[in-house]
Amino acid sequence: MPAARPTRIQQKNRAAILDAALDVFSAQGFRGATVDQIASAAGLSKPNLLYYFPSKEAMHGALLTELMDNWLSPLRDLNPDGDPMQEIMGYVHRKLQMSRDFPRESRLFANEIVQGAPRIHAALSMDLKNLVDDKTAVIQSWITAGKIASVHPYHLLFSIWSLTQHYADFDVQIRAVLGDEDPFEGAPDFVDTLYRRLLTP
């Protein structure tokens, strides 16, 4: 017999818990976060929270599963049949947009990586690696055809990740330096110029 569909209030509570967990995990990391902190942030009692998620690990796992799928999506969209410069620049700007729109998710991912990726190592070594291998082969084919400059495809992707995600992961540092200036006002033009100059044959 199929399980009953969650009620509207159950769906609302589950979403509130995951949103609160994202706040706490992205700020405190997995080790520093507690179920009590998450319950308080969600506006629920601890027993009520544990009705939906039996442990801190369960909440963290649910967030990481959703995050990995969303995080890989921009790279999946790199079209082998498209214009190489437009495809790569589109990827750069999608990654920058994700840092602007999903800073908590970026910091959650960064915290997990810094701790050795104990909960997503299998996904990194399989899903991520397979996708990156496939897309770097596409980039290499564009290089071989003379459509973009000769660069190391893997290190190109690494640099895009580090540059774009820096705006989310080191937001406090960036805003301390820039003051009232919105970092995402100048960033798109800068990364566009940087990578176009790097990749133009």
| Degrees, nearest 5: CA angle 107-108-113 | 90
Residue 36 in this model has a pLDDT that exceeds 80: yes
Per-residue pLDDT tens for 139-163? 999 999 999 999 999 999 999 999 9
The CA distance from 188 to 164, in Å, is 10
Average pLDDT, integer, range 11-38: 94
Would you state the pLDDT for residue 21?
A: 96
Per-residue pLDDT tens for 162-183? 999 999 999 999 999 999 999 9
The CA distance from 87 to 77, in Å, is 8
Residue 43, Ramachandran bin (φ over 0: left; ψ between -120 and 50: alpha; else beta):
left
| Token code pair at residue 199 | 């990749």
b/e code 156-189 from CB counts within 10 Å (16+ = b) = bbebbeebbbbbbbebeebeeeeeeeebeeebee
Confidence of residue 67 (pLDDT cuts 50, 70, 90): confident
Domains and CATH numbers, the chain: 1-54 (1.10.10.60), 63-199 (1.10.357.10)
